[in-house]
Structure 1
Amino acid sequence: MNKEDSMNAEVDVAIIGAGPSGAVAAALLRKAGRSVLVLERQHFPRFSIGESLLPQSMAYLEEAGMLRAVVEAGFQYKNGAQFVYRDQASAYDFRDKHSKGWGTTYQVERAVFDDLLIRCAMEQGADVRFGHTVLAMKTGDAPVLDVIDEAGTQYQVHARFVLDASGFGRVLPRLLNLEAPTRLATRAAIFTHVRDGIPVEAHDRNKITVAVHPEHRDVWYWMIPLANGRSSVGCVAEAAFLDVDEAEREEKLRTLIQSEPTLNRLIGNAPFLMPVRHIGGYSANVEKLHGAGYALLGNAGEFLDPVFSSGVTIALRSAHLAVQTLERQLNGEVIDWHAHYDAPLRKGIDTFRAFVERWYSGKLQDIIFTPDQTPAIRRLVCAVLAGYAWDETNPYVADAARRLDTLHEACMLRD
C-alpha cells in the first residue's frame, strides 16, 4: 500500500479547520458516536485574534465537555465591558442581564485557547491532521475532499457530510464560489500585545475596554486584559485610515493609543510584545450557509465586525446548531437545512448586525453613553452584549433594528 492509499479516509463527518467551531463540532459529534476527521492547514498552537469571549459561549463549551479544561487553564476572568468616549464612561456587568444563563466568561490568548479545545476533541476520539490542506471538494450526498499534506502527498477523504470551520480561510466559500457581498463597510484593524503593568486598583481587568476615538466616532479601540500582565490592544477603522506601510504600523498604533485619554493613561507607553499586525477586509458573507453535503460554520460563513466580540460565540452557536441538524440527517430524517440551521443561526447574526451598524452610525454609542439609563432596558441591551442574540424573549433580539432606533430617539429627546 502506498502512502496516498494509507491516508485515504472514510468517515461520517469531515471538518475543515481546528479552531473553536471545528473543535466543538468534533467533540459533539464524537459524543454522538460519529467518526470525525478534522483537517487543519496550520499547526497548533498558532496566533489568532478574537480574544474576548462572551458568556453565551460558555454553554456550548460545557455541552462539548470542554468547560473544566477552560476553567482550569488560568485565563483572565471576564464579567463585562466598559465603553469610554472622551470623559464619558459606561460599564455593563454581564451578570446583570435579561437573559438566563452564564454571566461570566474569560479573556483568552487564542493560541492557548484554540489548542486546548482541539486537544479536548482529540481526547474524545476525533482524528485531527495538522498541516493538511483541502484542495477541492466534490459536493453531493457522498462528498469527497481532495487533500494534500506538507510532504506533497495527495489523498481523498470520503464523508457522509462536511463541515467547513476554516474561519477567515473560508475554504469552501472560496473553492465553491459561494461569496456574497456584505453590507458592512470595508474596515481594518491593527493590533498587538502589550506588557500593561496596570496596578490592580487603577483598572478593572475583568472587563474589556472599548474606547471611541475622541475625534472620529467610527474609529474605536479595544483593550483586552489577559493573564500574566498582558493586554491585547488594537484599533479598528475604515481601511484607508490605517493604510500605512508595515514599517510604520508600530508608530501608527502608538500614536493612536496616546490620542485616546483612557488608553494613554493605562498603556500609553507600555512596551509592545510582538510586531504590530494588520487584518483588513474581514467582513464577509455568503448567500447560503449550506449546500449539497456541507454546511459552513462561524467565520467560514459570515463575519460581521469585532466590536462586540461576537465571533467566537457565533462560531460555537453554529457548531451547536449544525451538529443538532446533522445528527437528525445522519439518523435518516429528511432535513431542511435552511429552516433548521441557516435561518435560526442568521437570526442571532442579524441581531448582532443591527447593533454593529448602529455602533458605526453613532446611534448605539448615544444609547450606551446616555446618563441615568433605565435599568430594565439596560439589562435587555446587556443581554445582547453578553452574546444572548438568539433569546427572542428580548425585544432587542426579536425586533433589534426598530427597537434600537426607537430607543435612540428616546435618548435624544431626554438630552
Structure 2
Amino acid sequence: MRPNPYGVPEEYDVIVIGGGPAGATTGGLLAKRGHRVLVLDRERFPRYHVGESLIPAFMRPMEEMGITQRMDERGFERKNGGTLVWGNEQVPWNFSFVEGTAYTHAFHTRRADMDSLILDRARELGVFIIEDATVKEPIEEDGRVTGVRYTLRGADRPYEARAKLVVDASGQSRLLSRRYADVTWHEELRNVAVWTYFDNCERLAGDEYTNILIEGLDDGWFWAIPLDKGTISVGYVTRSSLAGQSDEKLPDLFMTEMEKSTKLKKMLTPANQAAGWRSARDWSYTSTQFHGNGWVCVGDSAAFVDPLFSTGVALATLAGSTLAKIVDEILKHPQIEAAALDRYATAYRGFFDEIRMFVERFYDRTKYKEFYYSLASEMVDPDHERTPNANFVQLISGLSGKHPMLNLHMEDLIAGAEAGQETAASA
C-alpha cells in the first residue's frame, strides 16, 4: 500500500485537524498566503451541524475568504436583526444590524451547505483536504508536536503527515486540547438544548420577517430560525438541573414549554414537525490551554459559549482569520512562535470572556431592555461614544472594533527577533 493517499504529500507547513468553519477558514487563509496546508476531517461533507443562525462578525472572515457573494447566490436567507420576547413582563422588542455595525446583515443557513461552501473555498485556495480521515494521535519529537497519525475510512493501515505547526480545529472533540489541557466549565451556563425542525410555519410580520426569534420563558428560552420559505429550526434551552438527566424526556419538555410561548406558538400553529429530535448538554467551557509546543487551538476546541446570540461560528471563524495571520508570521519567523501564540491566546480568551460575561448577565430576565443596552455600553463603550442601542447591536454582532482580537499585531515581536539575530551574528 502507498505510504500516503494517492497524490497527497507527507510534509506541510501546517496541518489542521477539522474541516468545519474554524479549520477551513484557518487553512484557507494560510493557503491564500502561500503556505502548504493539509486539512483532515473525519466526516464527508456536506454533514449535519446545528447553529444555523449567523451574526455580522462572520461576514468579516468570509470577505477574506472571498465567498460573501456566493452566500446570496446560493439563496441563503438574509438575517437583518432579531426579535426578542425577553426581560421583565416578557415585552417583545427588536434590534436591527443596521443600527450598530458595518455589516447590515448576516445569514441564516443550513449549516451543511454553509460549511461545505467554506471547505470548498479552502480547496480552491490550494488546501489539501482529506475527508473520511480520523486523526488518531499526534506525532511528538522531543516534546514537540510535529504531525499526526490518521486513518482513512476503508483502509487497513494508518498514515502519517508532518508539519511545522498543527492546528486543533476538531470542535468539541478537542482532539489535541483534550490531550494536553483541561477544560473549565462555566457553571452559570450549564444548560441543555433540545431542537427539531418545522415546515409550513407562519413567519414574523413586516420588517421582522427575516429576524431570528428569541423568546424567553420562566425557566428557559426558545430560538426560532427561518431557514427557507416555511421551514424553521426551533430549539429550547434550559438549565441542565431543571431538565433532568434523561434525554428521552426532552421532547415532552419542549412541547410543554412551547405551549407557554406567545410569538413562537403563533408561528407554529399551521406547522408540522419535519424532523426528529436532537439535544446537547453542558457546552459552555474554556480550555485551560490554547496552545503548546507545536500545536494551537481554534474554534470550539478552544472555547464555546451558550448559543443565546449565535456567536459560535462567528467567533470560530474570526479566530481562524486571526490565527492565520499569526501563523503566517510564525512560519516566516519561527523564533516568535511562543510569544506570538501567547498573544493570540490572551486576546482570544479576552474576546470570548467578554461575550460569555454578557450572556451570563443577559440571562437575568427580570430587567428591562434599557438595562441590557446599558450593560452592553458598560462593556464595550465606557466612554459613551455611541448610543446604548448601537452598543448592544455591536456587542451581539460580535464586532467590537477596538478589541485586541480584531487588531493583533506582531511587528514588535518580529523586530525583537530580528534584532536578536543581528546581535548574535555580530558576536
TM tier, smaller: 0.7 to 0.9
Q: Could you tell me whether the CA contact under 8 Å between 1:165 and 1:298 is conserved in 2?
A: yes
Q: Could you tell me whether the CA contact under 8 Å between 1:308 and 1:385 is conserved in 2?
A: yes
Question: Which of 381, 389, 396 does residue 385 from structure 1 map onto?
Answer: 396
Q: CA deviation at 1:363?
A: 6.6
Between 1:42-51 and 1:353-362, the stretch displaced more is: 353-362
Mapping of residues 180-199 of structure 1, within 5 Å: 180-198=184-202
Between 1:176-185 and 1:142-151, the stretch displaced more is: 176-185
Check 1:364–1:329 CA distance in 2 against 1; reply closer, same or farther (3 A cut). Answer: farther
Who is 2:356 aligned against? 353
Mapping of residues 318-337 of structure 1, within 5 Å: 318-333=319-334, 334-335=336-337, 336-337=339-340
Q: How many residues align?
A: 387
Between 1:109-118 and 1:331-340, the stretch displaced more is: 331-340
Q: CA deviation at 1:248?
A: 4.0
| Secondary structure of the corresponding residue to residue 226 of structure 1 | strand
Q: Could you tell me whether the CA contact under 8 Å between 1:184 and 1:304 is conserved in 2?
A: no
| Secondary structure of the corresponding residue to residue 22 of structure 1 | helix
| Secondary structure of the corresponding residue to residue 33 of structure 1 | coil
Q: Could you tell me whether the CA contact under 8 Å between 1:349 and 1:389 is conserved in 2?
A: no
Check 1:365–1:146 CA distance in 2 against 1; reply closer, same or farther (3 A cut). Answer: farther
1: CA distance, partners of 2:349 / 2:179: 22
Who is 2:243 aligned against? 242
Q: Could you tell me whether the CA contact under 8 Å between 2:79 and 2:105 is conserved in 1?
A: yes
1: CA distance, partners of 2:110 / 2:68: 16
Check 1:21–1:177 CA distance in 2 against 1; reply closer, same or farther (3 A cut). Answer: same
Mapping of residues 6-405 of structure 1, within 5 Å: 9-85=10-86, 88-97=91-100, 99=101, 101-139=102-140, 143-151=146-154, 152-198=156-202, 201=205, 204-213=208-217, 215-216=218-219, 219-243=220-244, 245-268=246-269, 270-333=271-334, 334-335=336-337, 336-362=339-365, 367=370, 376-389=387-400, 391-392=402-403
Q: Could you tell me whether the CA contact under 8 Å between 1:351 and 1:389 is conserved in 2?
A: no
Who is 1:407 aligned against? none
Structure 1 regions of 5+ residues with no counterpart?
394-415
2:226 alignment partner AA: P
Taking every aligned residue pair, what percent have the same amino acid on both sides? 26
1:222 alignment partner AA: W
Check 1:183–1:326 CA distance in 2 against 1; reply closer, same or farther (3 A cut). Answer: farther
Check 1:250–1:287 CA distance in 2 against 1; reply closer, same or farther (3 A cut). Answer: closer
Q: What CA deviation, in whole Å up to 9, does each residue of 1:64-122 have, x standing for no partner?
A: 1222222211111111111104551111111101x5x2121101110111111111111
Who is 1:406 aligned against? none
Between 1:353-362 and 1:186-195, the stretch displaced more is: 353-362
Q: Could you tell me whether the CA contact under 8 Å between 2:4 and 2:10 is conserved in 1?
A: no
Q: CA deviation at 1:31?
A: 0.7
Q: CA deviation at 1:366?
A: 5.3
TM-score, normalised with respect to structure 2:
0.84
2:390 alignment partner AA: R
Check 1:13–1:264 CA distance in 2 against 1; reply closer, same or farther (3 A cut). Answer: same
| CA RMSD in angstroms, aligned pairs only | 2.6
Q: CA deviation at 1:356?
A: 0.9
2:296 alignment partner AA: A
Q: CA deviation at 1:377?
A: 1.0
Q: What CA deviation, in whole Å up to 9, does each residue of 1:182-235 have, x standing for no partner?
A: 35442110001111431574782321111101x33xx11111111132111101
Q: Could you tell me whether the CA contact under 8 Å between 1:258 and 1:268 is conserved in 2?
A: no
Q: Could you tell me whether the CA contact under 8 Å between 1:9 and 1:158 is conserved in 2?
A: yes
Q: Could you tell me whether the CA contact under 8 Å between 1:317 and 1:345 is conserved in 2?
A: no
Check 1:194–1:202 CA distance in 2 against 1; reply closer, same or farther (3 A cut). Answer: farther
Between 1:349-358 and 1:237-246, the stretch displaced more is: 237-246
| Secondary structure of the corresponding residue to residue 363 of structure 2 | helix
Check 1:356–1:200 CA distance in 2 against 1; reply closer, same or farther (3 A cut). Answer: closer
Q: Could you tell me whether the CA contact under 8 Å between 1:321 and 1:345 is conserved in 2?
A: no
1:377 alignment partner AA: P
Check 1:270–1:244 CA distance in 2 against 1; reply closer, same or farther (3 A cut). Answer: farther
Q: What CA deviation, in whole Å up to 9, does each residue of 1:308-339 have, x standing for no partner?
A: 11101110111011111101110125131344
| Secondary structure of the corresponding residue to residue 333 of structure 2 | coil
Q: What CA deviation, in whole Å up to 9, does each residue of 1:396-415 have, x standing for no partner?
A: xxxxxxxxxxxxxxxxxxxx
Q: Could you tell me whether the CA contact under 8 Å between 2:108 and 2:226 is conserved in 1?
A: yes
Check 1:38–1:338 CA distance in 2 against 1; reply closer, same or farther (3 A cut). Answer: closer
1:388 alignment partner AA: L
| Secondary structure of the corresponding residue to residue 143 of structure 1 | strand
Q: What CA deviation, in whole Å up to 9, does each residue of 1:122-154 have, x standing for no partner?
A: 122211111111111135556121111222421
Q: CA deviation at 1:364?
A: 6.5
Structure 2 regions of 5+ residues with no counterpart?
378-385, 405-427
| Secondary structure of the corresponding residue to residue 288 of structure 1 | coil
Who is 1:398 aligned against? none
2: CA distance, partners of 1:35 / 1:370: 45
2: CA distance, partners of 1:364 / 1:173: 38
Q: CA deviation at 1:246?
A: 4.9
2:194 alignment partner AA: I
Q: CA deviation at 1:171?
A: 1.3
| Secondary structure of the corresponding residue to residue 11 of structure 1 | strand
